[in-house]
Amino acid sequence: MRHFLIATHGELSKAFIETLELIAGKTTNVSYFGMTKLKSGDLATEELKKILTTKKEDEHFIVLTDIFGGSVTNICTELLMDFKDFDIITGLNLPMMLTLILSGDELSVEDMIEEGVRSAKEGIIHINKLLEAQKGSTEDDLIITD
């Protein structure tokens, strides 16, 4: 079984989960961690360590963080070097999160992560440039679907 930990600065992780549940309904395999001004690095490390080491026997953690090089990702990376039994993907966005969490268990962890990263990249579109490239197209050509 896969368990996802959304770990970000501030309350962003909580908002991601609320958005996920708005789109896909209640989830039981997702938890969150938020790094706030009130948490020291040591306190954050202990909280994350507790989350990542308190898991069921058949559970695999996949940690989604907001920014490479940020304190949350750095702490998770230090814990990964100690425990080596979870995955970290950074650069979290909504397409990535939806792809990963809604993928089910059909794909291997590696394939699922590859799909999530692909979705994250494909979800970044500069709409102005898209419209500029499609000038002269019919109105139906400009319709973008999910």
So what CATH class is 2-142?
A: alpha beta
Q: In the 8-state DSSP scheme, what is residue 35?
A: E
Overall size of the chain counted in residues: 146
Q: Which two tokens stand for residue 128?
A: 């102005």
User: Looking at the whole model, is its pTM more than 0.85?
Assistant: yes
Using a 10 angstrom Cβ sphere, with 0-12 exposed, 13-18 middle and 19 or more buried, the burial of residue 28 is exposed
Are the C-beta atoms of 62 and 100 separated by less than 8 Å?
yes
Q: What are phi and psi of 126, to 5 degrees?
A: -85, 100
What sign does the CA torsion over 97, 122, 88, 33 have?
Answer: negative
Per-position pLDDT tens, the chain of length 146? 899 999 999 999 999 999 999 999 998 899 999 999 999 889 999 999 999 888 788 889 999 999 999 999 999 999 999 988 899 999 999 999 999 999 888 899 999 999 999 999 999 999 999 898 888 665 555 556 55
Amino acid at 24: A
